[in-house]
A and B are shown apart, each in its own frame.
Chain A
Amino acid sequence: MSGILFFLIGLSGLVFLALAVGIWWAVKSGQFDDLEGPAQRILMDDDDPLLPGRGRGSREEEQLKDGP
């Protein structure tokens, strides 16, 4: 039983190190500088950035046309 324990504990140590490196990288790359931005960005409906005139208005117009 100790054998597997050794292995697992060793593994968790390695995972810990990997996570620590990951955190170090995340902080360095500035991901924690703006905590509100990504939350807001998700809500914005702009998947196709610069296509002009996607006719989004027409979708709503059609809904209105369908009547109450």
Chain B
Amino acid sequence: MSGECFHCGQPVPPGVDLKVTVDGTPRAMCCRGCQAVAEAIVANHLEDYYRHRTAPPATPQELVPDALRQLAVYDHPDIQKSFVVDAGEHLREAVLILEGITCAACIWLNERHLMQLPGVKGVNVNYASHRARILWDEREISLSKILAEIRLLGYSAHPFSAHAADTLRRARRASDLRRLFVAGLASAQVMMFAIALYAGAYYYDMDHGTAQLMRWASLLLSIPVVFYSAIPFYRGARSALRTGHLNMDVPVTLAVLAGFFGSAWVTWRGEGVVYYDTITMFVFILLASRFLEQGAREKSVEAAENLLKLAPAMATRLREEKAEVVPVLELAVDDLILVRPGEAVAADGVVIEGESSTDEALLTGESRPVPKRPGDAVIAGSINLEGPLKVRVTGVGENTVLAGIVRLLDRAQAQKPRLAMLADRVAAYFTAFLLLLALATGIGWYWVDPGRVFEIVLAVLVVTCPCALSIAAPAAIAAAASSLLKRGILLTRGHALETLARVDHVVLDKTGTLTHGRPTLERVIPLAGMEAAQAKLLAASLEQASEHPLAASFLAAVEGRACLPVALPQNLPGQGVAGTIGGVRYTLGSARLLKETPQLPQAADWPAGATVVWLAVEGKPLAAFVLADRLRPEAGELMERLKALGVGASILSGDDEAAVRHVAETLGVADWHARARPEDKLAKLQALQAAGRVVAMVGDGVNDAPVLAAAQVSIAMGGGTQVARASSDIVLLSENLLDVARALATGRGAIAILKSNFAWAVGYNVLALPFAVLGYIPPWLAAIGMSASSLIVVLNALRLR
């Protein structure tokens, strides 16, 4: 039975025959995980999800009991202190970030399912930021249960502790919105009165009283605009002038204030032309463009914030032989902590006692266990795999490696692309020139026709405002970033976009990037009269009992049958696992556990780079399992697209030659290196750069931080390590390799638009200048011209979406 899984869209492996009846029709499922989720959806009458979704969901992971135990930590009051708020008697409220969302229907599914849970009083999910605000009664349900229910559907959620930065951002956005609306409403009204004046007062004879009425009404309505809406510009101008610089806000402030007070003076005197319509429209358009640009930029920041998880921060501290469970925040340097197998290490430290290995996928992206003995250092966040470790703490909280890298992310967010910084500098010089010019124009016209001085200086200030220039780059980048985000490509650094456009060579890691990174069971070879099914069951039970990293692949193969009880499970560091089932002591692991390794006939057929795991009793092999890391299906197409874009590709991997050659040949990549240590990778990268290539590195871990840092653009897979995602320029949230090609194409498009924006902005300013100085442009035309040019720049940028 072949075909596609109805739930996740992945191909159904041969031999798998799982079905769930949805809407009366039996549908094929590819694995127990999808089957469980589909059953949950049907059981809760949420089939609408299947009808409305526009994208396949992320493949659900097995709900290992371990995960449930970890969730229980979230119920601890000390942990909850940082993100749960009291919303009334017995009511609690928290914000969760949902992961695995691929389309709006996913959000709907979660919302509906959670609402149905007894004890959940309110659920509100923000479709844009994937954040859910949940209100629950703590007497009826616990937070860990809520999180478990979300896991049941195949998604995962983690709490979001409202960063101060986030609250600040929201408040600022709200106030920007209010200013914008006030400016919009007022300018609409003022323009109406202006039409009356143009229609009647300036060219025909409107009686004085009516004209004055119009002027005073316009003045009154301009007051909220000038004294409330335009405040951000005044602040900007003041801070610039204080540091002795000029920025775009200075001419804007001058124009608005001069226009208002000049017009007020005219209104008082009772005759002349007033310019309230000019200045209100001016302020409105400027606020609108800045708001749009900020909004798009904030989306990226929010998405990046979602990547930082609140680690369940509890640790077991040892004090005078007593073990107590404390929040990590309370740990201090030189404290002794106990890390049990399966737990995450709570802080940076040094091993004092115990022998085990840790999963530093956090930093390296590879789940290969790193052996640890007394004297070795361990990193906060890595997972202890085999045996208990006593660790002396050397770094806590902000001082951990992890926190340091998160700080890098924060700092990097503020970085601007080189082109935009150039634009800012040009704008500063231009502004200075403009102000001098306005002054000169004013003086000049004073000699010629003093009555027109005010009007012409105002027109000059307004029409030559370099706001189009300042918006050109941010608008293009924000639009590009937002269109990329829609496709699941997160741009964490602005500069990445312009560098991306120049990339002409891509270096790819193998494990976890070109391949799934998770070994899958390819073949079972039973020996010595054993049956394949029985062998699988034994292996799965052994793996499950010792929480070995390979457990997931064996469990998937066993498909729903319960594992056998295992007594005395034991981890053999670097070799495998052992356990007693039904009185017989089995071992499952590398060939080193066997007394002699039999020659397997089909060895030639195996995919290169496959690992063989042996099930044995007392060194005599009973079965062999072939595990291989499957290539991602879209890898081949990625290579074709890269070729079409004119971009070269290389594969650098720490894995052994056979495996890497196999992958390279399958994909048609000529340049590949195996057994590459970090230094080798770095050397190769630098060689490419020395040859003048602009290199993008795609990896799933910060594997080899120096290499990723050396590459001009670093791209991380979304499922990779937290640290990798935090420190890469681009994160592929959807884990689809084709996104690499898409990102490159979008980068090139964005730069093209950015350049055309610049050309237009500069050209317009230069062209309009002489006309304004010579008095051919009345202020209202100036306002329209400036607004139109800003709008054109923004619209041009929107073409990227």
Q: Decide yes or no whether B643 CB sits under 8 A from chain A.
A: no
CA distance A41 to B209 in the complex (A): 53
Q: Which single member of A9, A24, A58 contacts B178 (CB below 8 Å)?
A: A24
Q: Decide yes or no whether A66 CB sits under 8 A from chain B.
A: no
Q: In the complex where A33-B126, A43-B52 touch, is A5 in contact with B213 (Cβ < 8 A)?
A: yes
Q: Decide yes or no whether B533 CB sits under 8 A from chain A.
A: no
A61 touches B48 (CB 8 A): no
A46 touches B128 (CB 8 A): no
B125 touches A37 (CB 8 A): yes
Q: Which single member of B182, B193, B210 contacts A2 (CB below 8 Å)?
A: B210
Give B17-51 as 1s and 0s: 1 = Cβ < 8 Å from A's Cβ atoms.
Answer: 00000011000000000000000000001011001
CA distance A52 to B185 in the complex (A): 47
A37 touches B178 (CB 8 A): no
B127 touches A36 (CB 8 A): yes
**22 interchain pairs (CB within 8 A)?**
A2-B213, A5-B213, A9-B213, A13-B220, A20-B182, A23-B185, A27-B174, A27-B177, A33-B170, A36-B104, A36-B128, A40-B108, A40-B127, A41-B108, A44-B105, A44-B108, A45-B52, A49-B112, A50-B116, A54-B45, A57-B24, A58-B24
Q: Decide yes or no whether B798 CB sits under 8 A from chain A.
A: no
B210 proximity list for chain A (CB < 8 A): 1-2, 5
Task: Count A-B pairs with CB separation below 8 Å.
Answer: 85
A56 touches B127 (CB 8 A): no
A28 touches B174 (CB 8 A): yes
Q: In the complex where A2-B209, A13-B217 touch, is A46 in contact with B181 (Cβ < 8 A)?
A: no
B170 proximity list for chain A (CB < 8 A): 33
B186 proximity list for chain A (CB < 8 A): 16
Q: In the complex where A2-B213, A9-B217, A46-B112 touch, is A53 in contact with B45 (Cβ < 8 A)?
A: yes
B178 touches A27 (CB 8 A): yes
Nearest residue, chain A, Cβ from B127:
A37
For residue B740, give the distance in angstroms from its CB to the closest CB of chain A: 26
CA distance A27 to B179 in the complex (A): 11
Q: In the complex where A32-B174, A40-B108 touch, is A16 in contact with B126 (Cβ < 8 A)?
A: no
For residue A5, give the distance in angstroms from its CB to the closest CB of chain B: 6
Complex interface residues of chain A between 11 and 32 (CB less than 8 A to chain B): 12-13, 16, 19-20, 23-24, 27-28, 32
A5 proximity list for chain B (CB < 8 A): 210, 213
Q: In the complex where A34-B128, A43-B52 touch, is A56 in contact with B209 (Cβ < 8 A)?
A: no
A27 proximity list for chain B (CB < 8 A): 174, 177-178, 181
A40 proximity list for chain B (CB < 8 A): 104, 107-108, 127
Q: Decide yes or no whether B10 CB sits under 8 A from chain A.
A: no
A23 touches B189 (CB 8 A): no
For residue A47, give the distance in angstroms from its CB to the closest CB of chain B: 11
B213 proximity list for chain A (CB < 8 A): 2, 5-6, 9
Q: Decide yes or no whether B115 CB sits under 8 A from chain A.
A: yes
For residue A65, give the distance in angstroms from its CB to the closest CB of chain B: 12
A49 proximity list for chain B (CB < 8 A): 112, 115
Give B348-372 as 1s and 0s: 1 = Cβ < 8 Å from A's Cβ atoms.
Answer: 0000000000000000000000000
For A9, A32, A33, A58, which residue has the most chain B Cβ atoms within 10 angstroms?
A9
CA distance A40 to B565 in the complex (A): 48
Known: A20-B185, A50-B115. 11 other contacts (CB 8 A): A2-B210, A2-B213, A5-B210, A13-B220, A34-B126, A34-B129, A43-B104, A45-B51, A52-B45, A54-B45, A61-B24
Q: In the complex where A20-B181, A23-B182 touch, is A44 in contact with B52 (Cβ < 8 A)?
A: yes
Nearest residue, chain A, Cβ from B196:
A5
For residue B521, give the distance in angstroms from its CB to the closest CB of chain A: 37
Q: In the complex where A19-B185, A32-B177 touch, is A13 in contact with B48 (Cβ < 8 A)?
A: no
For residue A67, give the distance in angstroms from its CB to the closest CB of chain B: 17
Nearest residue, chain B, Cβ from A10:
B217
CA distance A40 to B217 in the complex (A): 42
CA distance A54 to B174 in the complex (A): 41
A56 proximity list for chain B (CB < 8 A): 23, 47-48
Nearest residue, chain A, Cβ from B21:
A57
Q: Decide yes or no whether B221 CB sits under 8 A from chain A.
A: yes
B224 proximity list for chain A (CB < 8 A): 20
B128 touches A16 (CB 8 A): no
A28 proximity list for chain B (CB < 8 A): 174
B189 touches A12 (CB 8 A): yes
